[in-house]
A and B are shown apart, each in its own frame.
Chain A
Amino acid sequence: MMNIERFYRAVSAEDALNVYQNTEGAAVLGGCCYLRMGAKNITAGIDLSALGLDRITVSGGSTELGAMVSLRDLETDENILKNFGGLFRDACADIVGVQLRNCATIGGTVAGRYPFSDILTAMSVLDVTILFASGASMSLADYMDSKKPAKDIITKIIIKNNVKKAVFNSVRNSHGDYAVLNCACAVKDGKYSLAVGARPQKAVRVTKAEEFLNNCAITAETAEEAGKICSGALDFQDNIRGKAEYRKAVCVPLVKRAVMGAAYAG
């Protein structure tokens, strides 16, 4: 059974970092949606909700998300919709329900690096920088790759507003379930970026398919070809939601649709 010995409401990012780095067994509290399921003993649960990190702002060609921005805000915020189209709205749509999305945070989602995450697959096709309490920053790709991130606290997520169109889609056994496979495609500065996640391993960009798309006209055939490239290039595995061979098969139409959606309106 999960236990928190001390609840600590940080007064500043520095304060939070100080407690985090100097208390053995401390943990930063995100949306706490998975907390109950764990069995961890947390000596100090560090709460960031007093730090004003629940805002979405636009400045200098980027959108800034505080770590405590809820997934519900990510889903409905007008600036997000304006700058990234339906990408995040669609990536949020099957995450349980409004009540859970009002709790879950973007900072918690990124910090969790969940391989099944719809949000992380969507973010993987954007230019994302993560800011930490120490002042350090890192690209999302590096963060997802780094085996052991430094003991730091995510405070902000900054996304470049260079997206012409971005699309998220997924296949799942039922609504509100985790994806059997998810996929996102974006057109940024005239170039395609493409990511596939929940394989069930974490989302990855498929550069071979991106290169292919960047060098051809997008038609139903080339979009499908991109799907085949992904299907052939990626490693898929079994879990209770689906077998590797199904994921491999369904990768093709999923990518095809994402590419067609990103290339053409409607």
Chain B
Amino acid sequence: MLVNITVNGQKRELTADPGEFLSETLRKAGYLSVKQGCDTGSCGLCTVWVDEKPVLSCAYLTARADGRSITTIEGVQKEAEAFAAFMADEGAEQCGYCLSGFVMTVLAMEKELKDPTDEEIQHYMAGCLCRCTGYMSQTRAVKKYLESKK
């Protein structure tokens, strides 16, 4: 079926099976930042925004996104670049495979929570698994990034 979605501000007409999930459709359409880490909605790697809200694109039917607006990290490169500096200062990137989804969640949190506490940050970010870093460096980077935006 044909689905009309706006991806990163561009109107796209994409072909998808009725049972296809956004993660697959987006990768096929060239948005290769979208990664899939599990088959159970558990890891957060595939996080994109649907109408500005962070969702698991592996659990969001492409057909359901018809008429909606999708943002992947390709669409927020400037913001990602700004955040990347804080990640670099902490050496927090490691393998990087979880980072597209992680950064999309950080940027969503930035919009949604005003001045979050440490606990609120951990809670908001809890759906982003990472096996490399042990999370501490990511949290340091997030906090310094949010601090810099004040």
Decide if A and B touch, CB cutoff 8 A: yes
Taking a contact as CB atoms closer than 8 A, the residue among B58, B61, B128 that contacts A45 in the complex is: B61
**Nearest opposing residue in chain B for A96, CB measure:** B127
On whether A29 and B126 interact (CB within 8 A), knowing A9-B66, A98-B105, A103-B55, the answer reads no
With beta carbons under 8 angstroms apart, the residue of A4, A36, A47 that contacts B59 is: A36
What residues of A have a CB within 8 angstroms of the CB of B19 in the complex?
2-4, 7, 35, 42, 45
**A103 vs B21: C-alpha distance when bound (angstroms):** 12
Of the listed stretches B35-43, B92-100, B140-148, chain A binds B35-43
In the complex, A176 has a CB within 8 A of chain B: yes
Chain A's closest residue to B48 (CB) is A99
The smallest beta-carbon distance between B1 and chain A, in angstroms, is 7
Cα-based distance from A34 to B38 in the complex (angstroms): 12
Task: Give every chain B residue within 8 A of A98 (Cβ-Cβ).
Answer: 54, 105, 108-109, 124, 126-127
The answer to whether B44 touches A99, judged by C-beta atoms less than 8 angstroms apart, is: yes
Pair B59/A33 contact, Cβ less than 8 Å: yes
> How many residue pairs, one in A and one in B, have C-beta atoms under 8 Å apart?
92
Cα(A16)–Cα(B124), bound, Å: 34
Interface SS, A side? mixed
- Contact yes or no, B41 A7, CB < 8 A: no
Q: Distance in Å from the Cβ of A174 to the closest Cβ of chain B?
A: 11
> Could you tell me the distance between the alpha carbons of A4 and B56 in the complex, rounded to whole angstroms?
19
Number of residues from B at the complex interface, CB < 8 A: 32
Report if A109 contacts B (CB, 8 A): no
C-alpha spacing A247/B133, complex, angstroms: 34
B123 in complex: contacting residue of A31, A34, A93, A99, CB < 8 Å: A93
Given contact pairs A4-B19, A102-B55, A47 touches B63 in the complex (Cβ within 8 A): yes
Residue of A nearest to B16 (CB): A7
CA distance A42 to B18 in the complex (A): 10
- Chain A hits for B123, CB < 8 A: 93
Q: List 12 A-B contacts (CB under 8 A).
A: A7-B61, A29-B61, A33-B41, A36-B58, A42-B19, A47-B63, A47-B64, A96-B127, A97-B125, A98-B126, A99-B56, A175-B126
* Given A97-B105, A103-B55, 20 additional A-B pairs, CB 8 A: A2-B19, A3-B17, A3-B19, A4-B61, A7-B19, A29-B61, A31-B59, A33-B59, A36-B58, A37-B40, A42-B19, A47-B63, A47-B64, A97-B128, A98-B109, A98-B124, A98-B126, A99-B55, A100-B59, A176-B42
**Considering the complex of A and B, which 9 residue pairs feature the smallest CB-CB distances, nearest first?**
A97-B127, A4-B19, A7-B63, A7-B18, A4-B18, A33-B59, A99-B54, A102-B55, A99-B56
